[in-house]
Amino acid sequence: MAGFLSAHGYDPGPTQRPLLAGAISGALAAIPAVAVLLLFGSLEVEAKILGVSIVLTLAFGFPMMAAAGAVYGRLFGRAANNRHGGWLFGMAFAFALWAAGAAFILPLVSAGSTPAGRAAIGVFASLLVWGFGLGLINAWIHPYLHERIETASESTAVGPRAAASAAGDPRRGQKRSK
């Protein structure tokens, strides 16, 4: 998979903010995912399994999905920004979250209880909807979060200082004294 991702230019540039874009996208994509959870009755089942209220489940769930979105942004790098395939990367990532979270972690933290039947289908569908939304939103929102070139040029990670540093300049990008 690394070869496929490198075709898109894997590493985010120094002016890009994949963690912030992923976190915002993850939180926004959770909104339609919660609608799917409500439609299938999965939210009530999850709250019951965890032994907390629905409000607390949501209060914990949104930051978790924002954190998962940040992991998505970091894991997929520039490929997460692909306007044509980001939705597919998002859905693949959501499938992995479902396999790890709903099928493995939830039973560990709840003494073996997991959603079943219609509620389980709702959890799976909500994560796929979340992943689809994550990929679409991230590709749309990330360009607006890039650091401005004017402020980025002050950094030693970009611009002439970075080029001088990469070329082996003994000054290593230090400012010239006047």
- CA dist 134 and 25 (Å) reads 5
CA–CA dist 1, 8 (Å, integer)? 12
Query: What is the pLDDT, as a whole number, of residue 9?
Result: 52
Q: Domain locations in the chain?
A: 29-77+86-142
Q: How does pLDDT run across 3-40, given as a tens digit for each residue?
A: 555 554 555 554 467 788 889 999 999 999 999 999 99
pTM over 0.75? The answer is: no
pLDDT exceeds 90 at position 127: yes
pLDDT band for position 99 (cuts 50, 70, 90): confident
pLDDT in tens, 148-174: 655 555 666 655 566 666 566 555 545
